[in-house]
Amino acid sequence: MTYLVLVRHGEARLNLEKRFAGWLDTPLTEGGIEDALRCALDLEGIDFDLAFTSKLIRARETLFLILSKQKKAGFLVHEAGAEGENAAHREWYSCPENFEDEVIPIHSSEALNERYYGILQGKKKKKMKEKYGDEQIFTWCRSFETGPPEGESLKDISARAVPFFEKEIFPAVKAGKNVIICAHQNSLRALIKHIENISDEEIPSVALATATPLIYGFSEGKLVKEKR
């Protein structure tokens, strides 16, 4: 059985302050670190071959902590581009191909970033609910078609996250690799909607707890969510 595991990052500072974090690059709190380490223990039974995360530090920190309990070491794969005298050393700065059976390559992409929250970015959730109303905030943050003014809808996030999943991630799962994706509430909701074929009307009810793994088994050409 091959596994695909989705994990929302642990508690970050702006989560603790109950703000809309979005693309604000805030690290984990002490509680978030503890949550990620507990998640790592939950996933010790799965040996990962490949890892994906966003460009935001809270997701990357969570992933690094999870991989700290793995048998193999994780290595960030950096984009090519070194020139001149440093070009020859580039493979050692990243993940050398001759190590590929001994390491877990880690790929990061903005395609997996959290929603850009537009006018809500960085704002206190309580104040925004008082200003716009609970129902409007829920619609902006949970519906598929409608996002915050000047920000992204879940449909917009799907337009970047799903093609990346189909091109870069799912082929690895189909090839028999165990893959972990550590990202964010909304980029993962977009992937879950795609994987489970959830309707636009049902997706508002889908939410993810921090640092809690969602595990899919891949068998007979299908991803099936496990009940754990």
In tens, the pLDDT along 147-203 reads 999 999 999 999 999 999 999 999 999 999 999 999 999 999 999 999 999 999 999
Q: Are 60 and 37 in contact (CB under 8 A)?
A: no
Task: Indicate whether 143 pLDDT > 70.
Answer: yes
One-letter amino acid for residue 87 of the chain: A
Residue 114 annotated among the catalytic residues of the structure: yes
Selected catalytic residue, list 11, 61, 114, 152: 114
- Answer yes or no: is 93 within a domain: no
Selected catalytic residue, list 9, 61, 152, 184: 9
Whole-angstrom distance, CA of residue 181 vs CA of residue 169: 9
The CATH number given to whatever domain includes residue 177 is 3.40.50.1240
pTM reported for the whole predicted model: 0.92
- Answer yes or no: is 88 within a domain: no
pLDDT at position 98, please? Answer: 64
Whole-angstrom distance, CA of residue 136 vs CA of residue 132: 6
- Answer yes or no: is 226 within a domain: no
- Answer yes or no: is 168 within a domain: yes
Q: Are 18 and 130 in contact (CB under 8 A)?
A: no
Q: How many domains does the chain have?
A: 1
* Residue ranges making up the domain that contains 110: 2-80+100-188+207-218
- Answer yes or no: is 194 within a domain: no
- Answer yes or no: is 91 within a domain: no
DSSP string, 56-101: SHHHHHHHHHHHTTSSSEEEE-PPS---GGGGGGHHHHS--GGGTT
Q: Give the pair of three-digit tokens for residue 181.
A: 């994706």
- Answer yes or no: is 37 within a domain: yes
- Answer yes or no: is 33 within a domain: yes
